Amino acid sequence: MTTTSPTPGMPVATRAAGPAPSPAVRIDAVLPRLAWTIAHARHLTRAAVTRTGITPDDRDAVEIAVSEACTNAVLHADPATDYQLSIRVDGPHCEVHVSDLGGGIHHPLPGPPTPTAIGSRGLALIRALTDALTVGTADPAGTTVHFTKIMRVGGGAAATDAGTPSRHPGTRQADAVTAPPPAQDPAPHDGAPR
Residue 80 lies in a domain: yes
Residue 111 lies in a domain: yes
Domain region containing 102: 25-159
CATH number for 59 = 3.30.565.10
Residue 82 lies in a domain: yes
Count the Cβ atoms, other than its own, within 10 Å of residue 163. 14
Residue 92 lies in a domain: yes
Provide the pLDDT for residue 77. 85
Residue 193 lies in a domain: no
Residue 4 lies in a domain: no
- In tens digits, the chain (194 residues) has pLDDT values of 444 444 455 444 444 445 555 678 999 999 999 999 999 999 999 999 887 778 999 999 999 999 999 999 998 888 888 999 999 999 899 999 999 988 777 666 667 777 777 776 888 899 999 999 999 887 778 899 999 999 988 754 434 343 333 333 433 333 333 333 444 444 433 444 43
Cα–Cα distances in angstroms (integers) from residue 11 to residues 2, 5, 7, 20, 150, in the given order: 10, 5, 8, 22, 35
User: Structurally, how many domains does the chain consist of?
Assistant: 1
DSSP string, 2-29: EEEEEETTEEEEEPPSSPPPPPPEEEEE
Q: pTM of the entire structure?
A: 0.67
Residue 183 lies in a domain: no
Residue 1 lies in a domain: no
